Amino acid sequence: MRVRVDLKVEEMPKYWYNVLADLPFKLDPPLDPRTKQPISPQALSAIFPEALIEQEVSEKREIPIPEPVLREYAVFRPTPLYRATYLEEYLQTPARIYYKYEGASPTGSHKTNTALAQAYYNKISGTKRLVTETGAGQWGSALCYAGAKFGLTVNVFMVRISYEQKPMRKYLMKLFGGDVVPSPSDRTNFGRSLLEKNGDMPGSLGIAISEAIEVAVSDPGTKYSLGSVLNHVLLHQTVIGLEIKKQLALLNETPTIVLGCHGGGSNFAGTILPFVPDKLAGKNIRLIACEPTACPSLTKGRYEYDYGDTAGMTPLLKMYTLGKDFIPPKIHAGGLRYHGAAPIVSRLLKEGLIEAVAFDQEEVFNAARLFAKLEGIVPAPESSYAIYGAIKEALRAKEEKKEEVIVFNLSGHGLFDLIAYVS
Ligand SMILES: *Cc1c(COP(=O)(O)O)cnc(C)c1O
């Protein structure tokens, strides 16, 4: 029988975990794009509300989750932790494999964890409209849902290729009242300048971010919202790892390997950051980020200051990056097509506290199909990189006759991505 661990609503974490409080080093500060000097928190207030800027730089270990956000989390949290019994049997592995299922959220991915928090802090600081970018649409739909919950208008710049090829999440965004346009668009100077050169440019996340920021800085009632990469986004995602810790404790299990897929780093970080103190204390635990070979920021990128967007409007972040002009090939895992990586994840990698691996799309999709048939959940193409990583570790454990306790985050379901499974 499959083991499933559910926590009660009362057992939901009441705070987010801030890893910056425990790291024995300080992160390199973001730089102002004009002066190339460390950016002042005030300079960020054109695009973010005060509370989120505070969280971005906070060194407090536990940051309380506000009551209205807890109330919205309770719609779908705590999310279940499953033992992958059927996968274990199929692989004939001595490893025990568990997965956290974030696809249980209202829009089918972990992104609602930060969308709800960001919408709440914007609402209480007087923001009327949020503007953002989205690739495959998971982030856009999460923010439109959160906007509907907290009474904010949401404008989404959606990477054109996804807008055309993945219409389902566009409809989901519209269902939640969002205003969605393909990017590059004719709504911004940057978008128009690109369209003049090439009328049917496929677009990229970097371009869509530039468009969203251009709109945000031009209107005081409008703020920008980012679905990954930044410290406060990773912070909000730590509910995932905090819940996993409680769920494994109920089973008397201690994980030896924890994995997540990696795009900008938010679901990976949300899963592994609560385990970083164990790693720092010298416990036997490996934390592994799984990324596509088609967009290998962690495994092939350079560790240096780079812009978060293509136009060079965002602060410069110290991170592993493929360069702001890198346009990744059109892989199915749209959410993993970002040129950079979260500064926190980047530094952890640089310090050897985490590992990174890259996989090809084909082997990953075979694992995803297998997982769907065995475990009964169609995984998001993005999450499938973590599944494949877990399978590889389980097979290694079998070869080495080693007992491992493997946990991975299933960051979303793939029911809107079925086309990827048949093409
Ligand atoms: C957006 C997304 C990702 C990648 O983003 P991260 O910030 O790296 O987590 C992964 N999985 C799913 C399901 C997503 O929607």
Domain spans of the chain, in order of start: 4-12+71-109+232-422, 44-63+111-231
Does position 21 have pLDDT exceeding 80, yes or no? Answer: yes
Q: Is the CB of 107 under 6 A from ligand 1?
A: no
- Distance of CA 29 from the midpoint of ligand 1 (Å): 24
**Greater pLDDT, 397 or 327:** 397
Q: Report the residue among 79, 101, 110 best suited for mutation to probe ligand 1: largest number of ligand atoms under 8 A from its CB.
A: 110
The pLDDT, as a whole number, for residue 412 is: 98
The pLDDT, as a whole number, for residue 330 is: 80
Nearest atom in ligand 1 to 142's CA: 15
Does position 30 have pLDDT exceeding 90, yes or no? Answer: yes
Q: Is the CB of 380 under 6 A from ligand 1?
A: yes
| Torsion sign (Cα): 194, 133, 229, 138 | negative
- Distance of CA 411 from the midpoint of ligand 1 (Å): 7
The pLDDT, as a whole number, for residue 136 is: 87
Q: Is the CB of 267 under 6 A from ligand 1?
A: yes
- Distance of CA 294 from the midpoint of ligand 1 (Å): 16
Q: Report the residue among 79, 107, 111 best suited for mutation to probe ligand 1: largest number of ligand atoms under 8 A from its CB.
A: 111
Q: Is the CB of 412 under 6 A from ligand 1?
A: yes
328 pLDDT band, cuts 50/70/90, is: confident
Would you tell me which CATH number, out of the four given (3.20.20.70, 3.40.50.1100, 3.40.50.1260, 3.40.50.850), belongs to the domain 4-12+71-109+232-422? 3.40.50.1100
Does position 210 have pLDDT exceeding 90, yes or no? Answer: yes
Residue with CA at minimum distance from ligand 1 atom 2: 335
Does position 350 have pLDDT exceeding 80, yes or no? Answer: yes
Tell me: the pLDDT tens digits for 358-407? 999 999 999 999 999 999 999 999 999 999 999 999 999 999 999 999 99
The pLDDT, as a whole number, for residue 333 is: 81
Q: What share of the chain is helix, strand, coil (3-state, %, to 5)?
A: 45, 20, 35
Helix (H) and strand (E) counts in the chain: 17, 15
Tell me if residue 309 falls in helix, strand or coil.
coil
d(CA 123, CA 277) in angstroms, rounded, equals: 33
- Distance of CA 338 from the midpoint of ligand 1 (Å): 10
Q: What is the mean pLDDT of residues 225-242?
A: 97
Does position 1 have pLDDT exceeding 80, yes or no? Answer: no
Q: What is the CA radius of gyration of the chain?
A: 20
- Judge if 4-12+71-109+232-422 and 44-63+111-231 fold alike in CATH terms: yes
Q: Give the DSSP per-residue string, 212-269.
A: HHHHHHT-TTEEE--SSSSHHHHHHHHHHHHHHHHHHHHTT---SEEEEE-SSSHHHH
- Distance of CA 162 from the midpoint of ligand 1 (Å): 15
Residue with CA at minimum distance from ligand 1 atom 15: 138
The tokens of 387 are what?
């599944």
d(CA 34, CA 224) in angstroms, rounded, equals: 19
Work out the end-to-end distance of the chain between its first and last CA atoms, rounded to an integer number of angstroms: 33
Q: Report the residue among 101, 102, 109, 209 best suited for mutation to probe ligand 1: largest number of ligand atoms under 8 A from its CB.
A: 109
The tokens of 321 are what?
């990056």
Tell me: the pLDDT tens digits for 290-312? 999 999 999 999 999 999 988 88
CA angle 195, 198, 202 (to 5 degrees): 85
- Distance of CA 267 from the midpoint of ligand 1 (Å): 6
Residue with CA at minimum distance from ligand 1 atom 14: 335
- Distance of CA 139 from the midpoint of ligand 1 (Å): 8
- The highest-level CATH class for domain 44-63+111-231 is alpha beta
- Distance of CA 337 from the midpoint of ligand 1 (Å): 10
DSSP 8-state class, residue 84: -
Tell me: the pLDDT tens digits for 146-183? 999 999 999 999 999 889 988 999 999 999 999 999 99
CB count in 10 Å sphere of residue 27: 15
d(CA 192, CA 422) in angstroms, rounded, equals: 35
Nearest atom in ligand 1 to 267's CA: 9
- The mean predicted confidence, pLDDT, of the chain is 96
